[in-house]
Amino acid sequence: MNKAGLEDVVASQTAISYIDGQKGDLFYRGYHINDLAEHANFEQTAYLLWFGDFPTEEQYRRVCGLVHDQLGLPKEMMAILFDLPDTAGPMQALRTAISALALHDPEANDNSPEANQQKAMHLMAHFPEIVAANYRIATGQWPLQPMERCGLAANFLWLLKGCEPEPLHVEAMDKCLVLHAEHGLNASTFSARVAASTLSDMYSAVTAALGTLLGPLHGGANQHVMEMLVEVGDPKHAEAYVKNALANKQRIMGFGHRVYKVEDPRAIILREISKELCEQTGNIKYYEISEKIREVTYAEKGLYPNVDFYSATALHALGIKTELFTTIFAVSRVVGWTAHVMEQHADNRLIRPRSEYIGHKNRTFTPIPGCRQAYH
Ligand code: ACO
Protein backbone atom coordinates (compact mmCIF):
# COMPACT_ATOMS: atom_id res chain seq x y z
CA MET A 1 0.00 0.00 0.00
CA ASN A 2 1.25 3.48 -0.86
CA LYS A 3 2.08 5.59 2.21
CA ALA A 4 2.41 9.22 1.12
CA GLY A 5 5.73 10.62 2.30
CA LEU A 6 6.58 7.16 3.75
CA GLU A 7 4.81 8.30 6.93
CA ASP A 8 5.26 5.75 9.74
CA VAL A 9 7.05 3.33 7.38
CA VAL A 10 9.94 1.58 9.12
CA ALA A 11 12.67 1.52 6.47
CA SER A 12 15.67 0.40 8.53
CA GLN A 13 16.88 -0.61 11.96
CA THR A 14 19.16 1.65 13.95
CA ALA A 15 20.86 1.72 17.32
CA ILE A 16 21.88 5.38 16.98
CA SER A 17 18.84 7.30 18.23
CA TYR A 18 15.27 6.74 19.35
CA ILE A 19 12.34 9.18 19.17
CA ASP A 20 9.15 8.76 21.17
CA GLY A 21 6.89 11.10 19.23
CA GLN A 22 3.92 10.61 21.56
CA LYS A 23 5.79 11.52 24.72
CA GLY A 24 8.21 13.98 23.16
CA ASP A 25 11.42 12.15 24.07
CA LEU A 26 14.65 11.83 22.12
CA PHE A 27 17.55 9.56 23.03
CA TYR A 28 21.01 9.30 21.46
CA ARG A 29 22.36 5.78 22.04
CA GLY A 30 19.97 5.45 25.00
CA TYR A 31 20.82 8.81 26.65
CA HIS A 32 18.04 11.37 26.95
CA ILE A 33 18.59 14.59 25.02
CA ASN A 34 17.96 16.65 28.19
CA ASP A 35 20.93 14.97 29.90
CA LEU A 36 23.13 15.33 26.84
CA ALA A 37 22.33 19.03 26.40
CA GLU A 38 23.05 19.58 30.09
CA HIS A 39 26.22 17.55 30.52
CA ALA A 40 27.87 16.50 27.22
CA ASN A 41 29.75 18.65 24.74
CA PHE A 42 29.59 18.29 20.96
CA GLU A 43 32.81 16.28 20.64
CA GLN A 44 31.66 13.79 23.31
CA THR A 45 28.28 13.54 21.60
CA ALA A 46 29.94 12.84 18.26
CA TYR A 47 31.99 10.06 19.84
CA LEU A 48 28.84 8.62 21.42
CA LEU A 49 26.95 8.65 18.12
CA TRP A 50 29.83 7.12 16.13
CA PHE A 51 31.07 4.52 18.59
CA GLY A 52 28.01 3.78 20.77
CA ASP A 53 29.48 4.84 24.14
CA PHE A 54 30.92 7.94 25.74
CA PRO A 55 34.71 8.13 25.47
CA THR A 56 37.00 7.60 28.42
CA GLU A 57 39.13 10.64 29.20
CA GLU A 58 41.98 9.20 27.18
CA GLN A 59 39.75 8.35 24.19
CA TYR A 60 38.22 11.82 24.41
CA ARG A 61 41.60 13.52 24.26
CA ARG A 62 42.70 11.29 21.38
CA VAL A 63 39.60 12.00 19.29
CA CYS A 64 39.73 15.75 19.99
CA GLY A 65 43.39 15.63 18.94
CA LEU A 66 42.54 13.71 15.77
CA VAL A 67 39.76 16.15 14.86
CA HIS A 68 42.04 19.11 15.62
CA ASP A 69 44.83 17.59 13.50
CA GLN A 70 42.48 17.54 10.52
CA LEU A 71 41.88 21.30 10.73
CA GLY A 72 43.19 23.51 7.96
CA LEU A 73 41.60 23.41 4.52
CA PRO A 74 43.74 22.25 1.57
CA LYS A 75 44.68 25.24 -0.62
CA GLU A 76 42.77 23.65 -3.52
CA MET A 77 39.62 23.85 -1.41
CA MET A 78 40.23 27.52 -0.71
CA ALA A 79 40.65 28.07 -4.45
CA ILE A 80 37.26 26.46 -5.08
CA LEU A 81 35.60 28.69 -2.49
CA PHE A 82 37.23 31.83 -3.94
CA ASP A 83 36.02 30.83 -7.43
CA LEU A 84 32.35 30.29 -6.55
CA PRO A 85 29.95 32.69 -8.26
CA ASP A 86 28.26 35.36 -6.12
CA THR A 87 24.96 33.57 -6.70
CA ALA A 88 26.09 30.50 -4.70
CA GLY A 89 24.26 30.44 -1.37
CA PRO A 90 26.00 29.07 1.77
CA MET A 91 24.37 25.63 1.49
CA GLN A 92 25.14 25.33 -2.21
CA ALA A 93 28.74 26.32 -1.48
CA LEU A 94 29.00 23.75 1.32
CA ARG A 95 27.51 20.99 -0.85
CA THR A 96 29.96 21.79 -3.67
CA ALA A 97 32.94 21.98 -1.31
CA ILE A 98 32.17 18.67 0.40
CA SER A 99 31.86 16.92 -2.94
CA ALA A 100 35.23 18.42 -3.93
CA LEU A 101 36.82 17.53 -0.57
CA ALA A 102 36.48 13.85 -1.52
CA LEU A 103 38.90 14.42 -4.41
CA HIS A 104 41.63 15.34 -1.92
CA ASP A 105 41.18 12.29 0.30
CA PRO A 106 43.04 9.20 -0.94
CA GLU A 107 40.76 7.04 1.23
CA ALA A 108 37.55 8.53 -0.17
CA ASN A 109 36.42 5.25 -1.73
CA ASP A 110 37.47 3.00 1.15
CA ASN A 111 34.32 1.95 3.02
CA SER A 112 36.12 -0.02 5.76
CA PRO A 113 35.14 0.90 9.36
CA GLU A 114 38.60 2.38 10.04
CA ALA A 115 38.57 4.57 6.91
CA ASN A 116 34.98 5.63 7.59
CA GLN A 117 35.82 6.67 11.16
CA GLN A 118 38.70 8.74 9.82
CA LYS A 119 36.45 10.37 7.23
CA ALA A 120 33.76 11.13 9.81
CA MET A 121 36.32 13.07 11.89
CA HIS A 122 37.68 14.72 8.75
CA LEU A 123 34.18 15.90 7.80
CA MET A 124 33.35 17.06 11.32
CA ALA A 125 36.54 19.17 11.35
CA HIS A 126 36.08 20.64 7.87
CA PHE A 127 32.38 21.50 7.91
CA PRO A 128 32.72 24.56 10.19
CA GLU A 129 35.88 25.65 8.40
CA ILE A 130 34.19 25.56 4.99
CA VAL A 131 31.07 27.37 6.24
CA ALA A 132 33.17 30.08 7.89
CA ALA A 133 35.70 30.45 5.06
CA ASN A 134 32.94 30.71 2.46
CA TYR A 135 31.07 33.27 4.56
CA ARG A 136 34.16 35.42 5.00
CA ILE A 137 35.09 35.24 1.32
CA ALA A 138 31.51 36.11 0.29
CA THR A 139 31.59 39.15 2.58
CA GLY A 140 35.01 40.39 1.45
CA GLN A 141 36.99 39.17 4.48
CA TRP A 142 39.98 36.83 4.61
CA PRO A 143 39.33 33.31 5.99
CA LEU A 144 40.92 32.74 9.39
CA GLN A 145 43.11 29.97 10.75
CA PRO A 146 41.56 27.87 13.55
CA MET A 147 42.53 28.59 17.15
CA GLU A 148 44.82 26.19 18.99
CA ARG A 149 43.50 24.13 21.89
CA CYS A 150 39.85 24.94 21.85
CA GLY A 151 36.66 23.03 21.17
CA LEU A 152 34.78 22.98 17.91
CA ALA A 153 31.98 25.33 19.05
CA ALA A 154 34.44 28.03 20.15
CA ASN A 155 36.54 27.56 17.03
CA PHE A 156 33.49 27.84 14.80
CA LEU A 157 32.46 31.18 16.35
CA TRP A 158 36.03 32.41 16.04
CA LEU A 159 36.32 31.33 12.39
CA LEU A 160 33.05 33.09 11.57
CA LYS A 161 33.49 36.31 13.48
CA GLY A 162 37.20 36.76 14.07
CA CYS A 163 36.93 37.65 17.75
CA GLU A 164 37.30 35.47 20.80
CA PRO A 165 33.78 34.34 21.76
CA GLU A 166 32.26 34.85 25.22
CA PRO A 167 31.92 31.68 27.34
CA LEU A 168 28.09 31.99 27.37
CA HIS A 169 28.06 32.09 23.57
CA VAL A 170 30.39 29.10 23.27
CA GLU A 171 28.16 27.12 25.62
CA ALA A 172 25.03 28.07 23.67
CA MET A 173 26.61 27.15 20.32
CA ASP A 174 27.86 23.87 21.77
CA LYS A 175 24.36 23.01 23.02
CA CYS A 176 22.85 23.90 19.63
CA LEU A 177 25.33 21.51 18.00
CA VAL A 178 24.50 18.72 20.47
CA LEU A 179 20.75 19.19 19.94
CA HIS A 180 20.90 19.08 16.13
CA ALA A 181 23.40 16.23 15.78
CA GLU A 182 21.05 13.32 15.19
CA HIS A 183 17.37 12.60 14.67
CA GLY A 184 16.58 9.13 13.37
CA LEU A 185 15.55 8.62 9.79
CA ASN A 186 14.81 12.25 8.94
CA ALA A 187 14.85 13.18 5.23
CA SER A 188 18.55 14.06 4.96
CA THR A 189 19.70 11.03 6.96
CA PHE A 190 17.50 8.82 4.80
CA SER A 191 19.22 10.29 1.72
CA ALA A 192 22.61 9.52 3.24
CA ARG A 193 21.59 5.93 3.99
CA VAL A 194 20.13 5.38 0.52
CA ALA A 195 23.40 6.56 -1.04
CA ALA A 196 25.47 4.44 1.39
CA SER A 197 23.29 1.40 0.68
CA THR A 198 24.55 1.36 -2.92
CA LEU A 199 28.03 1.01 -1.32
CA SER A 200 28.80 4.52 -2.43
CA ASP A 201 31.33 6.38 -0.26
CA MET A 202 30.77 8.58 2.78
CA TYR A 203 31.44 11.87 0.94
CA SER A 204 28.81 11.05 -1.68
CA ALA A 205 26.31 10.10 1.03
CA VAL A 206 26.97 13.34 2.93
CA THR A 207 26.69 15.39 -0.29
CA ALA A 208 23.28 13.78 -0.95
CA ALA A 209 22.25 14.58 2.62
CA LEU A 210 23.30 18.22 2.21
CA GLY A 211 21.15 18.57 -0.89
CA THR A 212 18.21 17.17 1.07
CA LEU A 213 18.75 19.30 4.16
CA LEU A 214 18.62 22.60 2.34
CA GLY A 215 14.89 22.47 1.50
CA PRO A 216 12.50 24.72 3.46
CA LEU A 217 10.50 21.78 4.84
CA HIS A 218 13.66 20.40 6.50
CA GLY A 219 16.84 22.27 7.48
CA GLY A 220 15.96 25.39 5.53
CA ALA A 221 13.13 26.19 7.95
CA ASN A 222 15.30 27.98 10.57
CA GLN A 223 16.28 30.66 8.06
CA HIS A 224 12.63 31.18 7.12
CA VAL A 225 11.70 31.44 10.82
CA MET A 226 14.06 34.39 11.26
CA GLU A 227 12.78 36.05 8.09
CA MET A 228 9.24 35.66 9.46
CA LEU A 229 10.20 37.22 12.82
CA VAL A 230 11.79 40.18 11.07
CA GLU A 231 8.70 40.58 8.87
CA VAL A 232 6.38 40.48 11.90
CA GLY A 233 8.60 43.08 13.54
CA ASP A 234 6.65 43.52 16.78
CA PRO A 235 4.89 41.11 19.20
CA LYS A 236 1.64 43.02 18.72
CA HIS A 237 1.56 42.09 15.01
CA ALA A 238 2.15 38.38 15.59
CA GLU A 239 -1.46 37.30 16.02
CA ALA A 240 -2.64 38.94 12.80
CA TYR A 241 0.36 37.54 10.93
CA VAL A 242 -0.33 33.94 11.97
CA LYS A 243 -4.08 34.14 11.37
CA ASN A 244 -3.56 35.69 7.96
CA ALA A 245 -0.92 33.11 6.97
CA LEU A 246 -3.12 30.21 8.04
CA ALA A 247 -6.15 31.70 6.26
CA ASN A 248 -4.01 31.78 3.10
CA LYS A 249 -2.96 28.14 3.63
CA GLN A 250 0.64 29.11 4.28
CA ARG A 251 2.84 27.10 6.62
CA ILE A 252 4.19 28.71 9.75
CA MET A 253 7.86 27.89 9.58
CA GLY A 254 9.31 26.12 12.61
CA PHE A 255 6.00 24.43 13.50
CA GLY A 256 4.76 20.89 13.07
CA HIS A 257 6.67 17.65 12.85
CA ARG A 258 6.19 14.32 11.16
CA VAL A 259 7.09 12.31 14.26
CA TYR A 260 6.39 14.50 17.33
CA LYS A 261 2.74 14.74 18.30
CA VAL A 262 3.68 16.88 21.33
CA GLU A 263 6.36 19.53 21.73
CA ASP A 264 9.76 18.68 20.28
CA PRO A 265 12.06 18.21 23.32
CA ARG A 266 14.84 20.07 21.52
CA ALA A 267 12.57 23.11 21.10
CA ILE A 268 11.95 23.16 24.87
CA ILE A 269 15.69 23.34 25.56
CA LEU A 270 16.31 25.83 22.77
CA ARG A 271 13.55 28.10 24.08
CA GLU A 272 15.54 28.59 27.30
CA ILE A 273 18.78 29.14 25.39
CA SER A 274 17.08 31.60 23.08
CA LYS A 275 15.54 33.54 25.98
CA GLU A 276 18.86 33.88 27.80
CA LEU A 277 20.77 34.90 24.67
CA CYS A 278 18.09 37.34 23.49
CA GLU A 279 18.02 39.01 26.92
CA GLN A 280 21.80 39.23 27.06
CA THR A 281 22.24 40.61 23.55
CA GLY A 282 19.37 43.10 23.35
CA ASN A 283 17.25 40.90 21.09
CA ILE A 284 14.38 40.22 23.49
CA LYS A 285 11.90 41.59 20.92
CA TYR A 286 12.47 38.54 18.70
CA TYR A 287 12.00 36.16 21.60
CA GLU A 288 8.73 37.89 22.50
CA ILE A 289 7.50 37.69 18.90
CA SER A 290 8.34 33.96 18.93
CA GLU A 291 6.36 33.42 22.09
CA LYS A 292 3.33 35.18 20.67
CA ILE A 293 3.55 33.18 17.42
CA ARG A 294 3.80 29.98 19.46
CA GLU A 295 0.68 30.89 21.46
CA VAL A 296 -1.41 31.78 18.41
CA THR A 297 -0.24 28.86 16.23
CA TYR A 298 -1.13 26.40 18.97
CA ALA A 299 -4.52 28.02 19.57
CA GLU A 300 -5.38 28.15 15.87
CA LYS A 301 -3.91 24.92 14.58
CA GLY A 302 -2.76 22.82 17.56
CA LEU A 303 0.81 22.84 16.23
CA TYR A 304 3.91 22.90 18.43
CA PRO A 305 7.30 24.45 17.63
CA ASN A 306 10.00 22.15 16.24
CA VAL A 307 13.78 22.37 16.61
CA ASP A 308 14.05 25.10 13.99
CA PHE A 309 11.81 27.60 15.74
CA TYR A 310 13.95 28.72 18.68
CA SER A 311 17.26 27.87 17.07
CA ALA A 312 16.56 30.82 14.75
CA THR A 313 16.47 33.41 17.55
CA ALA A 314 19.33 31.71 19.40
CA LEU A 315 21.58 31.87 16.33
CA HIS A 316 20.50 35.44 15.58
CA ALA A 317 21.41 36.48 19.13
CA LEU A 318 24.81 34.82 18.65
CA GLY A 319 25.37 37.31 15.84
CA ILE A 320 25.11 34.73 13.05
CA LYS A 321 23.72 35.93 9.74
CA THR A 322 20.33 34.45 8.83
CA GLU A 323 21.53 33.04 5.50
CA LEU A 324 24.01 30.83 7.41
CA PHE A 325 21.43 29.15 9.67
CA THR A 326 20.96 25.99 7.62
CA THR A 327 24.72 25.50 7.36
CA ILE A 328 24.95 25.63 11.17
CA PHE A 329 22.45 22.77 11.26
CA ALA A 330 24.67 20.90 8.78
CA VAL A 331 27.82 21.49 10.87
CA SER A 332 26.08 19.53 13.61
CA ARG A 333 24.06 16.96 11.63
CA VAL A 334 27.11 15.73 9.70
CA VAL A 335 27.88 13.73 12.84
CA GLY A 336 24.53 11.92 12.65
CA TRP A 337 24.84 11.38 8.89
CA THR A 338 28.29 9.84 9.21
CA ALA A 339 27.14 7.61 12.10
CA HIS A 340 24.30 6.35 9.87
CA VAL A 341 26.62 5.76 6.91
CA MET A 342 28.85 3.63 9.16
CA GLU A 343 25.83 1.72 10.48
CA GLN A 344 24.55 1.15 6.93
CA HIS A 345 27.93 -0.03 5.65
CA ALA A 346 28.33 -2.37 8.63
CA ASP A 347 25.21 -4.37 7.72
CA ASN A 348 24.19 -3.35 4.24
CA ARG A 349 21.22 -4.16 2.09
CA LEU A 350 20.38 -1.97 -0.92
CA ILE A 351 17.50 0.40 -0.09
CA ARG A 352 15.22 0.18 -3.05
CA PRO A 353 11.50 0.75 -2.44
CA ARG A 354 8.76 0.45 -5.05
CA SER A 355 6.28 3.00 -6.34
CA GLU A 356 2.63 2.57 -7.13
CA TYR A 357 2.15 3.18 -10.85
CA ILE A 358 -0.67 5.63 -11.62
CA GLY A 359 0.21 6.57 -15.22
CA HIS A 360 -1.18 5.53 -18.63
CA LYS A 361 -1.23 1.86 -19.59
CA ASN A 362 -0.88 0.06 -22.94
CA ARG A 363 -0.81 3.15 -25.14
CA THR A 364 -0.57 2.78 -28.92
CA PHE A 365 2.61 4.27 -30.33
CA THR A 366 2.31 6.50 -33.41
CA PRO A 367 5.75 6.98 -35.03
CA ILE A 368 6.81 10.46 -36.14
CA PRO A 369 7.72 10.00 -39.81
CA GLY A 370 11.44 10.34 -40.57
CA CYS A 371 12.59 11.10 -37.02
CA ARG A 372 14.88 8.05 -36.79
CA GLN A 373 16.66 8.85 -40.06
CA ALA A 374 17.47 12.36 -38.81
CA TYR A 375 20.13 10.83 -36.54
CA HIS A 376 21.90 8.79 -39.27
N1 ACO B 1 1.97 25.52 9.42
C2 ACO B 1 0.68 25.39 9.09
N3 ACO B 1 0.10 24.21 8.90
C4 ACO B 1 0.85 23.11 9.07
C5 ACO B 1 2.20 23.18 9.43
C6 ACO B 1 2.75 24.45 9.61
N7 ACO B 1 4.02 24.61 9.96
N8 ACO B 1 2.68 21.95 9.55
C9 ACO B 1 1.69 21.11 9.27
N10 ACO B 1 0.59 21.83 8.98
C11 ACO B 1 -0.72 21.31 8.63
C12 ACO B 1 -0.85 21.02 7.15
O13 ACO B 1 -1.27 22.13 6.42
C14 ACO B 1 -1.88 19.94 7.17
O15 ACO B 1 -3.14 20.52 7.45
P16 ACO B 1 -4.46 20.02 6.72
O17 ACO B 1 -4.59 18.58 7.12
O18 ACO B 1 -5.49 20.93 7.28
O19 ACO B 1 -4.17 20.19 5.27
C20 ACO B 1 -1.49 19.13 8.40
O21 ACO B 1 -0.87 20.05 9.28
C22 ACO B 1 -0.54 17.97 8.10
O23 ACO B 1 0.55 18.46 7.33
P24 ACO B 1 1.55 17.54 6.55
O25 ACO B 1 2.36 18.37 5.61
O26 ACO B 1 0.84 16.36 5.99
O27 ACO B 1 2.44 17.01 7.73
P28 ACO B 1 3.86 16.40 7.57
O29 ACO B 1 4.04 15.43 8.64
O30 ACO B 1 4.10 15.93 6.19
O31 ACO B 1 4.75 17.71 7.77
C32 ACO B 1 6.43 19.20 8.22
C33 ACO B 1 5.81 17.86 8.59
C34 ACO B 1 6.93 19.13 6.77
C35 ACO B 1 7.62 19.47 9.14
C36 ACO B 1 5.38 20.33 8.36
O37 ACO B 1 4.92 20.39 9.69
C38 ACO B 1 5.89 21.68 7.89
O39 ACO B 1 5.83 21.97 6.69
N40 ACO B 1 6.41 22.53 8.83
C41 ACO B 1 6.94 23.80 8.47
C42 ACO B 1 8.38 23.65 7.99
C43 ACO B 1 9.30 23.29 9.14
O44 ACO B 1 9.26 23.85 10.21
N45 ACO B 1 10.20 22.33 8.85
C46 ACO B 1 11.20 21.88 9.84
C47 ACO B 1 10.82 20.53 10.37
S48 ACO B 1 11.96 19.96 11.57
C49 ACO B 1 13.33 19.59 10.70
O50 ACO B 1 13.29 19.19 9.57
C51 ACO B 1 14.60 19.77 11.31
Query: How close is the Cα of 227 to the center of ligand 1, in Å?
Result: 18
**Domains, the chain, with CATH or none:** 13-214+322-346 (1.10.580.10), 221-317 (1.10.230.10)
pLDDT for residue 374 is more than 80 = no
Poorest-pLDDT segment among 148-162, 165-179, 180-194, 275-289: 148-162
174 is catalytic: no
Residue nearest to atom 39 of ligand 1 (CA): 217
pLDDT band at 375 (very low <50, low <70, confident <90, very high): low
pLDDT for residue 373 is more than 90 = no
Point out the ligand 1 atom lying closest to the alpha carbon of residue 5: 30
Residues paired with 255 in a beta bridge: 305
Query: How close is the Cα of 256 to the center of ligand 1, in Å?
Result: 5
Residues paired with 25 in a beta bridge: 20
Pocket, ligand 1, Cβ cutoff 6 A: 5, 217-219, 221, 251-258, 301, 303, 306-308
Mean pLDDT value of segment 163-183: 97
pLDDT, averaged across the chain:
95
The string over 304-317, giving b where at least 16 C-beta atoms fall within 10 Å of a residue's C-beta and e elsewhere, is bbbbbbbbbbbbbb
Which helix (DSSP H) or strand (DSSP E) does residue 231 occupy? helix 221-232
Which helix (DSSP H) or strand (DSSP E) does residue 25 occupy? strand 25-28
Give all strands of the β-sheet with 31-32 in edge-to-edge order: 17-20, 25-28, 31-32
Residue of 183, 257, 316, 345 with catalytic role: 257
Rounded Cα distance, 284 and 163, in Å: 23
Residues in CB range of 86: below 8 A, 6 or more apart: 138
Rounded Cα distance, 12 and 219, in Å: 22
> In percent, how much of the chain has pLDDT > 90?
87
Choosing from 227, 251, 270 the residue with most ligand 1 atoms within 8 A of its CB, the one to mutate for a pocket test is 251
Mean pLDDT value of segment 179-201: 98
More confident residue, 70 or 286: 286
pLDDT for residue 149 is more than 80 = no
pLDDT of residue 169: 97
Residue of 126, 308, 316, 340 with catalytic role: 308
Give pLDDT tens digits for 29-88: 999 999 999 999 999 999 999 999 999 999 999 888 888 888 888 899 999 999 999 999
